[in-house]
Structure 1
Amino acid sequence: MNPMMAIKAYQAAAAGGAGPAGGAAMPQDGPGFSELLSNAMANATDQSRQAEQQMTMAVQGRAELIDVVTAVASAEASLETVMAVRDQVIQAYQEIMRMPI
Protein backbone atom coordinates (compact mmCIF):
# COMPACT_ATOMS: atom_id res chain seq x y z
CA MET A 1 0.00 0.00 0.00
CA ASN A 2 1.57 3.29 -1.01
CA PRO A 3 1.24 6.44 1.12
CA MET A 4 -1.17 8.16 -1.28
CA MET A 5 -3.63 5.26 -1.00
CA ALA A 6 -3.24 5.29 2.78
CA ILE A 7 -3.94 9.03 2.96
CA LYS A 8 -7.06 8.69 0.80
CA ALA A 9 -8.27 5.77 2.92
CA TYR A 10 -7.64 7.78 6.07
CA GLN A 11 -9.57 10.75 4.68
CA ALA A 12 -12.49 8.53 3.66
CA ALA A 13 -12.59 6.89 7.09
CA ALA A 14 -12.41 10.24 8.88
CA ALA A 15 -15.18 11.74 6.73
CA GLY A 16 -17.44 8.69 7.03
CA GLY A 17 -17.90 8.65 10.81
CA ALA A 18 -18.14 12.32 11.69
CA GLY A 19 -21.17 13.94 10.16
CA PRO A 20 -24.57 15.17 11.31
CA ALA A 21 -26.12 11.76 10.59
CA GLY A 22 -23.02 9.79 11.61
CA GLY A 23 -22.97 10.89 15.25
CA ALA A 24 -19.72 10.95 17.14
CA ALA A 25 -16.56 9.90 15.40
CA MET A 26 -15.28 6.42 16.14
CA PRO A 27 -11.95 6.13 17.95
CA GLN A 28 -9.10 5.60 15.55
CA ASP A 29 -7.35 2.25 15.65
CA GLY A 30 -4.84 3.00 12.88
CA PRO A 31 -2.00 5.46 12.61
CA GLY A 32 -2.63 9.19 12.38
CA PHE A 33 -1.87 11.40 9.41
CA SER A 34 1.44 12.64 10.82
CA GLU A 35 2.50 9.07 11.51
CA LEU A 36 1.69 8.10 7.91
CA LEU A 37 3.84 10.96 6.65
CA SER A 38 6.66 10.06 9.00
CA ASN A 39 6.54 6.45 7.85
CA ALA A 40 6.61 7.51 4.19
CA MET A 41 9.64 9.72 4.81
CA ALA A 42 11.44 7.00 6.77
CA ASN A 43 10.72 4.49 4.01
CA ALA A 44 12.11 6.83 1.35
CA THR A 45 15.22 7.45 3.44
CA ASP A 46 15.76 3.71 3.98
CA GLN A 47 15.35 3.01 0.27
CA SER A 48 17.92 5.72 -0.56
CA ARG A 49 20.41 4.28 1.93
CA GLN A 50 19.96 0.79 0.50
CA ALA A 51 20.57 2.12 -3.01
CA GLU A 52 23.73 3.88 -1.84
CA GLN A 53 24.98 0.70 -0.18
CA GLN A 54 24.32 -1.32 -3.34
CA MET A 55 26.22 1.25 -5.43
CA THR A 56 29.16 1.16 -3.02
CA MET A 57 29.20 -2.63 -3.10
CA ALA A 58 29.09 -2.59 -6.92
CA VAL A 59 32.07 -0.26 -7.07
CA GLN A 60 33.95 -2.63 -4.76
CA GLY A 61 32.95 -5.55 -6.98
CA ARG A 62 30.76 -7.24 -4.36
CA ALA A 63 27.32 -6.65 -5.95
CA GLU A 64 25.65 -7.38 -9.26
CA LEU A 65 24.48 -4.59 -11.53
CA ILE A 66 20.88 -5.82 -11.45
CA ASP A 67 20.84 -5.40 -7.65
CA VAL A 68 22.05 -1.84 -8.00
CA VAL A 69 19.47 -1.01 -10.67
CA THR A 70 16.68 -2.54 -8.59
CA ALA A 71 17.70 -0.62 -5.45
CA VAL A 72 17.96 2.68 -7.34
CA ALA A 73 14.56 2.15 -9.01
CA SER A 74 13.00 1.40 -5.62
CA ALA A 75 14.55 4.52 -4.11
CA GLU A 76 13.32 6.60 -7.04
CA ALA A 77 9.77 5.27 -6.66
CA SER A 78 9.81 6.07 -2.93
CA LEU A 79 11.08 9.56 -3.58
CA GLU A 80 8.42 10.19 -6.22
CA THR A 81 5.74 9.03 -3.78
CA VAL A 82 7.01 11.38 -1.07
CA MET A 83 7.10 14.25 -3.56
CA ALA A 84 3.51 13.50 -4.64
CA VAL A 85 2.38 13.53 -1.00
CA ARG A 86 4.24 16.79 -0.44
CA ASP A 87 2.59 18.35 -3.48
CA GLN A 88 -0.86 17.27 -2.27
CA VAL A 89 -0.22 18.70 1.21
CA ILE A 90 0.93 22.00 -0.26
CA GLN A 91 -2.08 22.10 -2.57
CA ALA A 92 -4.44 21.43 0.35
CA TYR A 93 -2.76 24.14 2.42
CA GLN A 94 -3.06 26.66 -0.40
CA GLU A 95 -6.73 25.76 -0.86
CA ILE A 96 -7.39 26.27 2.85
CA MET A 97 -5.62 29.64 2.73
CA ARG A 98 -7.89 30.75 -0.13
CA MET A 99 -11.04 30.05 1.90
CA PRO A 100 -12.93 33.14 3.03
CA ILE A 101 -13.02 33.78 6.76
Structure 2
Amino acid sequence: MINGITPISLQNMDGVAKAAAPAQTQAGQFGDMLKNAMNEVNRAQLESDKMTGALAKGQNVELQDVMIAAEKASVTLLSSIEMRNKAIEAYQEVMRMQM
Protein backbone atom coordinates (compact mmCIF):
# COMPACT_ATOMS: atom_id res chain seq x y z
CA MET A 1 0.00 0.00 0.00
CA ILE A 2 1.51 3.31 -1.13
CA ASN A 3 0.09 6.52 0.36
CA GLY A 4 -3.26 4.91 1.11
CA ILE A 5 -3.65 3.53 -2.43
CA THR A 6 -3.95 -0.22 -2.73
CA PRO A 7 -2.58 -1.93 -5.83
CA ILE A 8 -5.09 -3.35 -8.30
CA SER A 9 -5.06 -7.12 -8.39
CA LEU A 10 -5.08 -9.08 -11.62
CA GLN A 11 -8.49 -10.39 -10.66
CA ASN A 12 -9.85 -6.83 -10.64
CA MET A 13 -8.26 -6.19 -14.03
CA ASP A 14 -10.37 -8.99 -15.51
CA GLY A 15 -13.45 -7.18 -14.23
CA VAL A 16 -12.28 -3.96 -15.91
CA ALA A 17 -11.86 -5.76 -19.23
CA LYS A 18 -15.33 -7.28 -18.90
CA ALA A 19 -16.82 -3.87 -18.10
CA ALA A 20 -15.22 -2.38 -21.21
CA ALA A 21 -16.85 -4.98 -23.47
CA PRO A 22 -20.36 -3.40 -23.37
CA ALA A 23 -18.85 -0.06 -24.44
CA GLN A 24 -17.35 -1.75 -27.48
CA THR A 25 -20.73 -3.33 -28.24
CA GLN A 26 -22.41 0.06 -27.95
CA ALA A 27 -19.82 1.56 -30.30
CA GLY A 28 -20.63 -1.19 -32.78
CA GLN A 29 -24.33 -0.47 -32.44
CA PHE A 30 -23.72 3.24 -33.01
CA GLY A 31 -21.65 2.43 -36.07
CA ASP A 32 -24.43 0.22 -37.41
CA MET A 33 -27.00 2.92 -36.73
CA LEU A 34 -24.87 5.50 -38.54
CA LYS A 35 -24.33 3.15 -41.46
CA ASN A 36 -28.09 2.50 -41.72
CA ALA A 37 -28.79 6.24 -41.66
CA MET A 38 -26.32 6.87 -44.48
CA ASN A 39 -27.86 4.01 -46.46
CA GLU A 40 -31.28 5.63 -45.99
CA VAL A 41 -29.96 8.97 -47.29
CA ASN A 42 -28.46 7.19 -50.28
CA ARG A 43 -31.69 5.28 -50.93
CA ALA A 44 -33.72 8.50 -50.88
CA GLN A 45 -31.29 10.14 -53.32
CA LEU A 46 -31.41 7.17 -55.68
CA GLU A 47 -35.22 7.06 -55.55
CA SER A 48 -35.37 10.77 -56.35
CA ASP A 49 -32.98 10.34 -59.28
CA LYS A 50 -34.96 7.39 -60.61
CA MET A 51 -38.27 9.26 -60.45
CA THR A 52 -36.78 12.40 -62.00
CA GLY A 53 -35.33 10.34 -64.83
CA ALA A 54 -38.66 8.63 -65.40
CA LEU A 55 -40.41 12.01 -65.57
CA ALA A 56 -37.80 13.34 -68.00
CA LYS A 57 -38.31 10.30 -70.26
CA GLY A 58 -42.03 10.95 -70.33
CA GLN A 59 -43.00 7.84 -68.41
CA ASN A 60 -46.23 7.69 -66.43
CA VAL A 61 -45.03 9.38 -63.23
CA GLU A 62 -46.96 12.01 -61.30
CA LEU A 63 -45.17 15.34 -60.91
CA GLN A 64 -46.16 15.63 -57.25
CA ASP A 65 -44.61 12.20 -56.53
CA VAL A 66 -41.37 13.33 -58.14
CA MET A 67 -41.39 16.54 -56.11
CA ILE A 68 -42.12 14.66 -52.87
CA ALA A 69 -39.26 12.24 -53.53
CA ALA A 70 -36.92 15.15 -54.29
CA GLU A 71 -37.91 16.95 -51.09
CA LYS A 72 -37.49 13.79 -49.01
CA ALA A 73 -34.02 13.31 -50.46
CA SER A 74 -33.17 16.94 -49.80
CA VAL A 75 -34.43 16.87 -46.22
CA THR A 76 -32.61 13.62 -45.38
CA LEU A 77 -29.37 14.95 -46.87
CA LEU A 78 -29.62 18.29 -45.08
CA SER A 79 -30.46 16.64 -41.76
CA SER A 80 -27.50 14.27 -42.07
CA ILE A 81 -25.22 17.23 -42.83
CA GLU A 82 -26.53 19.05 -39.76
CA MET A 83 -26.01 15.96 -37.59
CA ARG A 84 -22.44 15.71 -38.90
CA ASN A 85 -21.87 19.39 -38.12
CA LYS A 86 -23.20 18.95 -34.58
CA ALA A 87 -21.00 15.89 -34.03
CA ILE A 88 -17.94 17.83 -35.22
CA GLU A 89 -18.83 20.75 -32.96
CA ALA A 90 -19.22 18.39 -29.99
CA TYR A 91 -15.86 16.76 -30.77
CA GLN A 92 -14.17 20.15 -31.02
CA GLU A 93 -15.75 21.22 -27.73
CA VAL A 94 -14.45 18.09 -26.01
CA MET A 95 -10.98 18.71 -27.44
CA ARG A 96 -11.02 22.28 -26.04
CA MET A 97 -11.76 21.02 -22.52
CA GLN A 98 -8.90 21.20 -20.08
CA MET A 99 -8.10 18.02 -18.23
Name the TM-score class by shorter chain: 0.5 to 0.7
- Report the Cα offset of residue 58 of structure 1: 0.0
Higher relative contact order, chain-length normalized (CA < 8 Å, sep 6+)? 1
**Which of 72, 77, 80 is residue 79 of structure 1 equivalent to?**
77
Deviations 1:37-80 (A, max 9, x none): 11111100000000000000001111121111011011011101
DSSP-derived class of the 2:58 partner: coil
Please give the root-mean-square deviation of Cα atoms over the aligned residues, in Å: 1.8
Equivalent residues in 2 for 1:26-45, closer than 5 Å: 32-45=29-42
Structure 1 portions without partners, runs of 5+: 1-23
* Moved segments of 4+, more than 3 Å: none
Matches for 1:53-92 after TM superposition, within 5 Å = 53-62=50-59, 63-92=61-90
Count how many residue pairs are aligned between Structure 1 and Structure 2. 75
| 3-state DSSP of counterpart to 1:100 | coil
- Structure 1 residues 7-32: Cα deviation after superposition (integer angstroms, max 9, x where no partner): xxxxxxxxxxxxxxxxx7xx679x72
Q: What SS does structure 2 have at the residue aligned with 1:78?
A: helix
TM-score when normalising by structure 1: 0.66
Within 2, Cα distance between the matches of 1:78 and 1:53?
17
Name the structure with the higher helix share. 2
Residue 34 of structure 1 deviates from its aligned partner by 1.5
Give identity over the alignment, percent. 32
Larger radius of gyration: 2
